[in-house]
Amino acid sequence: MEEYGHFIGGKHVAGKSGRDQDVMQPMDGTVRAKVALASAAEMRAAVENAKAAQPAWAATNPQRRVRVLMKFLELVHKEYDALAELLAREHGKTVPDAKGDIQRGLEVVEVCIGAPHMMKGEFTEGAGPGIDVYSMRQPLGVVAGITPFNFPAMIPLWKIAPAIACGNAFILKPSERDPGVPMRIAELFLEAGLPAGILNVVNGDKEAVDAILDDPDIKAVGFVGSTPIAQYIYSRATATGKRAQCFGGAKNHLIIMPDADMDQTVDALIGAGYGSAGERCMAVSVAVPVGKETADRLVEKLIPRVESLKVGPSTDGSADFGPLVTAQALERVKGYVDLGVEEGAKLLVDGRNFKMQGYEDGYYMGGCLFDNVTRDMRIYKEEIFGPVLSVVRAETYEEALALPNDHEYGNGVAIFTRDGDAARDFAARVNVGMVGVNVPIPVPIAYYTFGGWKGSAFGDLNQHGPDAFRFYTKTKTVTSRWPSGVKDGAEFVIPTMK
């Protein structure tokens, strides 16, 4: 059986805390590996290692740093299939979906190859008599990322790549549910030429997280997960003077206007609502048809599509989605479906009793579809994180717009319509961070930034794109004057450009 310790100083290090946890294989419910859970002392050892290695890396010019990223890309592509299968087996998503997980991470790595340009400062000659002013971006030092189970390749890469391209050393605390791919990523970076100690992977639970938040040598922390944990990490990190970007839960709406192409809309809802068993922070979990006729047509087309979804093991490339990540996750999602029935929503398709032949111990669930969900129900208010789609009917466009605007979360939203004026008005007025127009999962491309609003995000800067370089650097501004020909004598007023 595989045993995951930690990756510190360019080496695999066995856990010393005496605590570990099973890593399950969701498709059959077997124990795949054991993962060590770090103590605060083990986290501190990783930080000290990173702190010692970082100055030399920061002194390496940006162009040479990004050559490591280029080599890393080459190495990942050579073992793409093996990484995807490892990811699928530990997470539960299908292998094709796992390849998408990896690819979206690599796209951020590709953008970070532009770090020499993104880190350029500004220069003004002659800002005053004999005075030049210029700025420079410098790395923070040691930074950390706490990443979730649902994207074990993509989100670590979203954080690692810009952080190390800027000259920082990075501590990664991945999810203990599927640590295999993050550990392999660290090995590949070392093989690509990254100096030992610049990327350290420390597996663990809350003890490791708190050690990150309290360590005075960690200058910034990024997190993706649930909103309560995002709030906790943001509050504790900022209280100790750290920069923090923390991304939480979501309840993503898709508004369907009466003029929308209904076949295109249904395709979008099926893929965005049920892909990866709904375990995506950008999954569409609420469909909002405008008008009774639109709602009736939508539901009529959705029912047979949800009923015919193919659920299969992670290794079945033809499956629409695989199992949920853990037995606890499965029971949680089933509990929400039970709750929806109790609350009075109409369960049109019930996937609770799905069993996968030959994989009876796996964490499988069929797709579920609710109609007549109302905004006061918990299944509408709360993030379910499973293959469950709720239809919330709206009589008018304004009523539909009010739903995402008033919701606690503000991660992603979409509108499907043929009307450019309606789409333009929606994009301008909706109170959500990422908006799709006839695009169901509006995850921005890698050279834009990713981030929600309201209860979905805490912190001033988003992930990837230009914000990543701002987050992982500090700006120093230099005002320079050389003494030749400059009048002597003290000045007692604040300098101005007069």
User: Could you list the residue range(s) of the whole structural domain that residue 319 is in?
Assistant: 252-437
Question: Is residue 320 domain-resident?
Answer: yes
| Residue in the structure block whose two tokens are 């796209």 | 107
Handedness of CA 174, 252, 92, 188 (dihedral sign): negative
Do residue 189 and residue 276 come from a single domain? no
Question: Is residue 110 domain-resident?
Answer: yes
Do residue 265 and residue 224 come from a single domain? no
Do residue 198 and residue 260 come from a single domain? no
Do residue 25 and residue 124 come from a single domain? yes
The answer to whether 285 and 441 are in contact (CB under 8 A) is no
Q: Which of 104, 62, 145 is nearest to 471 (CA)?
A: 145
Question: Is residue 492 domain-resident?
Answer: no
Looking at residue 488, its pLDDT comes to 62
Cα separation, 154 vs 76, in Å, equals: 13
Looking at residue 496, its pLDDT comes to 73
What are the mean pLDDT values of the chain's consecutive 10-residue runs (498 residues total)?
Answer: 95 97 98 98 98 98 97 98 98 97 98 96 92 96 98 98 98 98 98 98 98 98 97 97 97 98 98 97 97 98 98 96 98 98 98 95 98 98 98 98 98 98 98 98 94 96 95 97 71 73
Q: Which of 54, 40, 39 is nearest to 9 (CA)?
A: 54
Angle at the Cα of 171 from the Cα atoms of 190 and 48, rounded to 5 degrees: 95
The answer to whether 23 and 90 are in contact (CB under 8 A) is yes
Question: Is residue 330 domain-resident?
Answer: yes
Looking at residue 487, its pLDDT comes to 60
Catalytic residues: 281
Question: Is residue 213 domain-resident?
Answer: yes
Distance from the Cα of residue 282 to its chain's centroid: 9
pTM exceeds 0.75, yes or no: yes
| Residue in the structure block whose two tokens are 């210029």 | 134
CATH code, 237: 3.40.605.10
Do residue 71 and residue 112 come from a single domain? yes
CATH code, 376: 3.40.309.10
Query: How many C-beta neighbours within 10 Å does residue 55 have?
Result: 12
Do residue 236 and residue 366 come from a single domain? no
Do residue 194 and residue 273 come from a single domain? no
Please give the tally of structural domains in the chain: 2
Looking at residue 485, its pLDDT comes to 58
Question: Is residue 98 domain-resident?
Answer: yes
Do residue 168 and residue 271 come from a single domain? no
Looking at residue 208, its pLDDT comes to 98
DSSP calls for 276-308: GGG--TT-EEEEEEBSHHHHHHHHHHHHHHHHT
Do residue 234 and residue 320 come from a single domain? no
Kindly calculate the radius of gyration of the chain based on its CA atoms and give it in whole angstroms: 25
CA dist 436 to 282, 297, 433, 445, Å? 11, 22, 10, 12
Do residue 57 and residue 191 come from a single domain? yes
Contacting residues for 212 by C-beta, under 8 A, at least 6 apart: 43, 144, 146, 171, 173, 218, 221
Cα separation, 162 vs 143, in Å, equals: 11
Q: Which of 385, 410, 437 is the last residue of a domain?
A: 437
Question: Is residue 493 domain-resident?
Answer: no
Looking at residue 491, its pLDDT comes to 73
Do residue 125 and residue 29 come from a single domain? yes
Q: Which of 136, 107, 142, 138 is nearest to 123 (CA)?
A: 136
Q: Pairing state of beta strands 243-247 and 218-224?
A: parallel
Question: Is residue 350 domain-resident?
Answer: yes
Do residue 31 and residue 135 come from a single domain? yes
